[in-house]
Each structure stands twice: as C-alpha cells, then as structure tokens.
C-alpha cells in the first residue's frame, strides 16, 4: 500500500512537471506583426505602399508577404497569413516573384507550384493558378506570362525545356504555353515581342546561353539569341534597352551584365554590349541602373560586395557605392533591390544566412540610411502599390 501511494505520488510529480513545462494548445494561425517605421513618407506621391515577398527556405513553407503602408508608416509582417487565415498550409514554399497588375497582386510561389492571386489592396485571396516550378511573372495586354522551369516533356525527358505560360488575368485560366530554353527566368516585353532569359541551371555545367524571343500575337518562340550562359535578370530601361544578367558558371565564365538594344527599324533586339559587371540583382530608376555585386573571396571565405550605379545611356559605371554612410558593413547577404518610382528612395534587403529573418533597409537617393526593419525569411522581391489601381 505504501509503495502504491509512492508510485501514485511519483506519477503525480511527473504529471506536474509536464504541466509546468507546458502543454500543447490549439495551433493558432500565425498572426501578423505590426511595427512602425521611424520615418515619414512623402505624402504627395502616387504610391500607397509596398509589398515584400519573403521566400522562406525550401521545405519550410515559410513564404510570407510583408506590407509597408507609406501614409501610416506601418510595416506589417505576415500580411497574407492574417488576411487569409483559412488557406490550408498558408502561402506556401519559396516565393520567387511578386507583382501588381491592375487591381490584383500576384505572387509566384516556386516550390508550391502556383501563382497566388490576391486583391492588391486588401491582400485577400482571389484564386491560384497551378504552374509547375514557376519562377517569374510579367504582364502584357490583359495577360500574365509566367516562366516555368518545366515545360512540356519533349525529346529529352531528363531535362525538359522550360516554358512560358500565358494566363488570362480575368479568368485566371491558362490559355497557352510555349516552350522556350532551359530553365527560363525573367522576361521583358518590347513591342509585341517577349524576351526570356534562359538559365539552364538544371543542366549545369551545360548551361543554356540563349534568350528566347516570343511573338506574343502568335504566342510562339520565333528566335533564340545567343548571349551568355546562365542568365537570370532581365529589365527594360527608359530608352527601351534590355539589361540582362548572366550568372556565369563560377569557374571559367564570369558573371556579367548584357545589353540588348534595337538597331533595326523593325525593333528587333540584338545583343550589343557585354559589361564585365557581376550583378546578382538590378533595379532601374530613370536612367540609373542600380546593381548589387558580390563575389566570394576564396581565401578568406568572405564576400566582397559592391553596390553600384550604371548610367543606362552611356552604359558606364558612375558609382561603385550607392550606400554612402557605411551601412554596407551591416549587410551580410544583399538580396532584394527596388527603387521608389517617384522619390528615388532605395530599398535593399539583407537575406542574412537564409534561415533567419531578413532586414529591409531604406536609403535616400543620396545613399544615406533612413531606416531598417525586420522582415520574414529571405526577403527577395518587392513591388509598389499605387494609390489608385484600375482594371482587373
């Protein structure tokens, strides 16, 4: 009897320990977190706010959207989660691109194989478009175009060519698909042509070195421009030139910056310049192209990073440090880059070690830090929300 009571007592103690240590509770939907940015935005711009897409590390399902509202200065982390608590397994795994077209916000979620479509103002979910291994999005005449690493399986099933999917932005239906090069990344439209940067990343070391040209009216690839290996970014400047980054192969082929421009009357673009500027990200504002360049020093294991500006008219580097106040020493892994379309403020994200919260920095056009704030994991892509949105 005595023993029995001791055992009971022991059990009770154990149970008490457990209770002290904590029990499971209902899993609550991740709440949003609000923080006020210590800066007052210019009230006279036509920009209401900006969205930051945080990739989240692969397999973590921690892709989130943050929203920064300029008039109130409130920065909201996990904005999507709060607005859409009933979406099973939240926004998804590895967000790769975010953009606004008309009144809708589109987020390309790479490892969830979908494009999430939301109301641009409320962030409420409207629907999704399933596209396998989707990468980037761009828009033209009521259609969204989404690059995908996996196209229709063709001759070589081991490494199928990639594709660009056409999505009707009203119905969210896929209305077409065109096969392009291997593992296509960013796209840009010029005239009635779409240019697609192919990487061939799945075929390393046999990277793709072509830019696909799609005639948007027929929605067919009409040409491939031989350029440089492993291309990634593609942006159009005010003069209509296309700026394309090549990641190189990290051994024999360096990373560089390419320019496509049109010298023909028909507007066809050709490769005209190859600048020896290694860029991991670029953003164009007026006739300035801001870039982040980072290279690993093999001996110290540290990154040598520079933040430069190129004049898009002369194609010359006009500054090698657009951060002028020493803040660059705080930044571990510069990642996302965007420039406010009106004020010229520079937004730069730090992805740190890819598995912890990032930081969003805001710099004045003169390169002085205005503020910084914590983001989700791997802040990558940024888009601006206009005060008035129209269309669909």
Partner 1 sequence: MPPDDNGSFLCLLMNTTIRRALLILLAVNAIAASAVTSVKENADTTLSLTEVTVTAVRPQTEVIPAQKLSGEELQRLNSNSVADALRYFSGVQVKDYGGVGGIKTVNIRSMGTNHTGVVYDGIELGNAQNGQIDLGQFSLDNIEAISMYNGQKSDILQPARDFGSAGTIYLRTKTPEFSHGETYHARAALRFGSFDLINPSALLELRLSSHVNASLSAEWINSSGKYKFRYRRVNPAGEIAYDTTAVRQNGDINATRIECNLNGNLQNGEWHFKVYNYNSERGVPGAIVNNVWRRGERIWDNNSFAQGSHTQTYGNFTTLNNVKYSFYRTHYVNNDDKQIKVDNLYKQRELYFSTANELMLKRWWRLSVSYDFLWNALDADMHDFARPDRFTNMVSAATAISFNRFKAQASMLGTFIHDKLRGKKAPEDKHAFTPAIYLNFQPARTRDFQLRAFYKRSFRMPTFNDLYYADMGNSRLDPERVTQYNFGAVYSRSSHGFIPEARISADAYYNRVSDKIVAYPKGQQFRWTMLNLGLVDITGVDLSGLITVNPTYELYLTLRGQYTFQRAIDVTDPTDSYYRDQIPYIPRHSGSAVVNATWKQWSLNYSFIYVGARYNQQENIRYNYTQPWYTSDISISRDITINHVNLRALVEINNLLSQDYDVILNYPMPKRNWRVTLMVNI
Find the binder of partner 1 among 5, 28, 155, 266 (CB under 8 A).
28
Render 52-85 in DSSP notation, one character per residue: EEE---TTS---EEEEEETTTTEEEETHHHHH-T
Residue 212 within binding range of partner 1, rule CB under 8 A: no
Q: Which is nearer to partner 1, 109 or 164 (CB)?
A: 109
User: Could you count the other beta carbons within 10 Å of the beta carbon of residue 136?
Assistant: 24
- CA 371, 233, 162, 146 torsion-angle sign: positive
Q: What does the per-residue mask of binding to partner 1 show for 87-126, with x meaning CB under 8 A?
A: xxxxxxxx-x------------xxxxxx------------
Q: Which is nearer to partner 1, 66 or 261 (CB)?
A: 66
Q: Which is nearer to partner 1, 269 or 338 (CB)?
A: 338
Find the binder of partner 1 among 100, 348, 351, 362 (CB under 8 A).
351
For residues 10-49, b (16+ Cβ closer than 10 Å) or e, as one string? eeeeeeeeeeeeeeeeeeeeeebeeeebeeebeeebebbb
Find the binder of partner 1 among 122, 175, 239, 356 (CB under 8 A).
356
Residue 372 within binding range of partner 1, rule CB under 8 A: no
Minimum CB separation of residue 287 from partner 1 in Å reads 25
370 burial (CB, 10 Å; 0-12 / 13-18 / 19+) is middle
Find the binder of partner 1 among 83, 193, 247, 285 (CB under 8 A).
247
Length of the chain counted residue by residue: 392
Residue 253 within binding range of partner 1, rule CB under 8 A: no
Q: Which is nearer to partner 1, 147 or 190 (CB)?
A: 147
Q: Which stretch binds partner 1 (CB under 8 A): 44-52, 268-276, 301-309, 384-392?
A: 301-309
Rounded CA-CA distance 63/14 in Å is 39
Residue 301 within binding range of partner 1, rule CB under 8 A: yes
Q: Which stretch binds partner 1 (CB under 8 A): 28-36, 39-47, 170-178, 311-319?
A: 28-36
β-pairing verdict for 303-311 and 288-296 = antiparallel
Minimum CB separation of residue 280 from partner 1 in Å reads 4
Structure tokens that stand for 119 in this block: 């109301």
Residue 263 within binding range of partner 1, rule CB under 8 A: no
Task: Determine contact, residues 349/52, Cβ cutoff 8 Å.
Answer: yes
Find the binder of partner 1 among 76, 78, 221, 256 (CB under 8 A).
78
Q: Which stretch binds partner 1 (CB under 8 A): 5-13, 66-74, 169-177, 257-265?
A: 5-13
Q: What does the per-residue mask of binding to partner 1 show for 308-337, with x meaning CB under 8 A?
A: ----------------------x-xx-x--
Task: Determine contact, residues 129/140, Cβ cutoff 8 Å.
Answer: no
Partners of residue 190 on adjacent β-strands? 193
Strand order of the sheet with strand 357-363? 334-339, 346-350, 357-363, 369-377
Among candidate residues 124, 56, 50, the one with its CA nearest the CA of residue 383: 50
Size of the site for partner 1 (CB under 8 A): 96
Minimum CB separation of residue 29 from partner 1 in Å reads 5
Minimum CB separation of residue 239 from partner 1 in Å reads 27
373 burial (CB, 10 Å; 0-12 / 13-18 / 19+) is buried
Q: What does the per-residue mask of binding to partner 1 show for 39-68, with x meaning CB under 8 A?
A: ----------------x-xxxxxx-x----
Residue 7 phi, psi dihedral angles, 5° rounding: -65, -45
Rounded CA-CA distance 144/172 in Å is 9
Structure tokens that stand for 336 in this block: 């996302």
Minimum CB separation of residue 179 from partner 1 in Å reads 15
Helix or strand holding residue 33 (H, E):
strand 33-36
Q: Which is nearer to partner 1, 221 or 306 (CB)?
A: 306
Q: What does the per-residue mask of binding to partner 1 show for 128-167, with x meaning CB under 8 A?
A: x-x-xx-x-------------xx--x----xx--------
């Amino acid at each position: 009897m005595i023993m029995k009571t001791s055992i009971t007592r022991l059990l009770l103690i154990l149970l008490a320990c457990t209770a002290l240590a904590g029990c499971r509770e209902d899993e609550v939907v991740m709440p949003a977190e609000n923080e006020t940015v210590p800066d007052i935005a210019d009230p006279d711009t036509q920009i209401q706010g900006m969205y930051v897409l945080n990739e989240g590390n692969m397999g973590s399902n921690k892709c989130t959207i943050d929203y920064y509202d300029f008039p109130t200065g409130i920065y909201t982390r996990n904005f999507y989660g709060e607005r859409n608590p009933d979406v099973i397994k939240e926004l998804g795994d590895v967000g790769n691109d975010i953009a606004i077209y008309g009144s809708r916000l589109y987020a390309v979620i790479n490892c969830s194989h979908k494009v999430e479509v939301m109301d641009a103002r409320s962030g409420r979910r409207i629907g999704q478009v399933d596209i396998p291994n989707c990468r980037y999005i761009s828009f033209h005449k009521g259609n969204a175009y989404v690059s995908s690493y996996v196209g229709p399986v063709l001759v070589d099933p081991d490494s199928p060519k990639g594709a660009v999917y056409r999505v009707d932005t009203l119905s969210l239906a896929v209305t077409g698909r065109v096969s392009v090069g291997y593992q296509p990344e960013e796209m840009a439209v010029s005239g009635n042509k779409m240019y697609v940067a192919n990487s061939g990343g799945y075929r390393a070391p046999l990277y793709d070195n072509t830019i696909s040209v799609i005639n948007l009216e027929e929605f067919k690839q009409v040409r491939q421009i031989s350029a440089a290996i492993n291309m990634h970014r593609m942006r159009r400047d005010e003069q209509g030139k296309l700026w394309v980054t090549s990641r190189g192969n990290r051994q024999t082929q360096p990373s560089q910056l390419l320019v496509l421009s049109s010298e023909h009357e028909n507007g066809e673009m050709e490769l005209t310049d190859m600048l020896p500027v290694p860029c991991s990200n670029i953003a164009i504002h007026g006739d300035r192209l801001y870039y982040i360049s980072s290279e690993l020093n093999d001996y110290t294991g540290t990154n040598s990073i520079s933040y430069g500006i190129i004049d898009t008219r002369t194609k010359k580097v006009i500054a090698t440090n657009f951060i002028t106040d020493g803040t660059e020493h705080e930044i571990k892994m510069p990642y996302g880059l965007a420039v406010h379309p009106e004020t010229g403020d520079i937004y730069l994200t730090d992805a740190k070690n890819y598995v912890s919260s990032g930081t969003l920095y805001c710099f004045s056009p003169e390169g002085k830090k205005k503020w910084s704030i914590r983001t989700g994991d791997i802040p990558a892509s940024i888009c601006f929300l206009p005060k008035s949105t129209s269309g669909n």
